[in-house]
Structure 1
Amino acid sequence: MAKPARLIYLSSSMHRTGSTDLRRLTDGTGSYDDTKLWVTSLALALASRWEGVSSHAVDPGWVPTRMGGSAAPDDLPAGSQTQAWLATHSDVTPGTGGYWYHLKTQTPPPAARDEGFQAHVLQALESHTGVLLD
């Protein structure tokens, strides 16, 4: 499969409390927080490794959905605005490797930005799925 021009990964602010213990990925004990840290790391890893591909992670906020519940304090339309903008806008800064919340970049935790951890995430995903990312 050809590499896409744009990748937009759905993350969450809860990635900040995710674990870097990737055994949880392979043994199925990973929490929601863990998966959001790993997907944020994946987005940032591909941003730095795949030239010509725009890769970002987005926190839509805690929005009132079946998963978020009716008491969620964030705005549902605002929760999808950033993904739509990243998918269609031609002048995004940064062009790749951003972690976004409501059209503004945020700084993800050090683990998500750590190239060594990113490499371990890619290796764990490749081992678990059998799909190699070049």
Structure 2
Amino acid sequence: MAKVFITGSADGLGRMAAELLVKEGHQVVLHARNKHRGQEAMAAVPGAETVVCGDLSSIAETKQVATAVNKLGKFDAVIHNAGVGYRERERINTADGLPHVFAVNSLAPYILTCLIQKPKRLIYLSSGLHREGDETLKDLEWKTRPWSGYNAYADSKLHDVILAFAMARKWPGVYSNAIEPGWVATKMGGPGAPDSLEEAPKTQVWLATSEDFEAMTTGRYFFHKKVRTFHPAAGRVDVQERFLKECERLSGVKFPI
């Protein structure tokens, strides 16, 4: 039995992954943005151990989430599932003055990775759109670029792959991978999404718990349990180091040695 924490598991793919894990007999801790959403999550996933609440758009609350998770002991796997979509037509600023998409999709996974006790496995949800992300990592705060919700989302999903591969390199004792669930009909994906919703949560569950040889790997990018090509910049050490330094600067959270 594995002990798994899943961010953004009040609905969508996070909740579906949680349901699969509980069904397989694993110990699951959910995450929701606030207490109301947390109550909904616990009601929707009978058998989940508990829920940790905190808004990942806030640096302070993200730190509190990490503290709460650590109080529950060490986890076998953390699935960084939480994310917001590409439909923000105007830049939405967080309380910390950061673009909402970047704060939730990019910076929060960095903070949680730094502050939660190292699990055995890390899984980061990306998207096929990451291939359109900006590898220069310039203007992460969108101060000079004209706002594009689509491009901000693509950038953030590239950041998730960069982070996954950086962890694979820096933490050789941890299996760290990124996945592409496909364009599926969740609240984020929309009703017309063409890929299989049923298949979408299975790869993250497999990577979090399976003893299959193919799952016990690191530094890979998966789609439906198969290795898939990724933006080549994600594998570059200089890009990884630049991203980690920028996240450290913006969050005030130092990357652990």
Which amino acid in the other structure matches residue 128 of structure 1?
L
TM-score, normalised to structure 1, is 0.92
Question: Residues 21-100 of structure 1 correspond to what in structure 2 (within 5 A)?
Answer: 21-27=136-142, 31-93=152-214, 95-100=217-222
User: 2:122 maps to which residue?
Assistant: 7
Consecutive unaligned residues in structure 2, runs of 5 or more: 1-115
Deviations 1:13-71 (A, max 9, x none): 00000012323323476610000111100100100110211111010000001111111
- Residue of structure 2 equivalent to 1:118: 240
Contact 1:9 1:56 in 2 (8 A): yes
Alignment root-mean-square deviation, CA: 1.6
Is the CA contact (8 Å cut-off) linking 1:26 and 1:124 kept in structure 2?
no
Q: Find the aligned partners of 2:212 and 2:232 in 1 and give their Cα distance.
A: 27
Which residue of the partner structure matches residue 28 of structure 2? Answer: none
Equivalent residue for 1:16, pick from 131, 135, 152 = 131
Q: Report the residue type matching 1:10 in the other structure.
A: L
* TM-score normalised by structure 2 residue count: 0.49
Select the residue among 103, 106, 109 that pairs with 2:225. Answer: 103
Q: Give the Cα separation in 2 of the matches to 1:115 and 1:124.
A: 14
Corresponding letter in the other structure for 2:239 = F
Using the TM superposition, name which of 6-15 and 88-97 deviates more.
Answer: 88-97
Give the AA of the match of 2:173: G
Q: In 1, Cα distance between the equivalents of 2:175 and 2:213?
A: 9
Q: Provide, for residues 95-122 of structure 1, a one-character-per-residue CA deviation record: whole Å limited to 9, x for no partner.
A: 1111000010112121111111011111
2: distance between equivalents of 1:84 and 1:55? 13
User: Cα deviations across residues 68-89 of structure 1 (Å, max 9, x unaligned)?
Assistant: 1111000111110100100110
Is the 8 Å Cα contact of residues 86 and 92 (structure 1) preserved in structure 2?
no
Q: 1:127 aligns with which of 219, 239, 249?
A: 249
Query: How much has 1:92 moved relative to structure 2?
Result: 4.0
Unmatched 5+ stretches in structure 1: none
Distance 1:120 1:23 in 2: 10
Deviation at 1:132, TM superposition (A): 1.7
- Whole-angstrom CA distance in 2 between matches of 1:90 and 1:62: 27
Identity %: 45
- Cα distance in 2, alignment partners of residues 63 and 27 from structure 1: 28
CA distance in 1, matches of 2:139, 2:224: 30
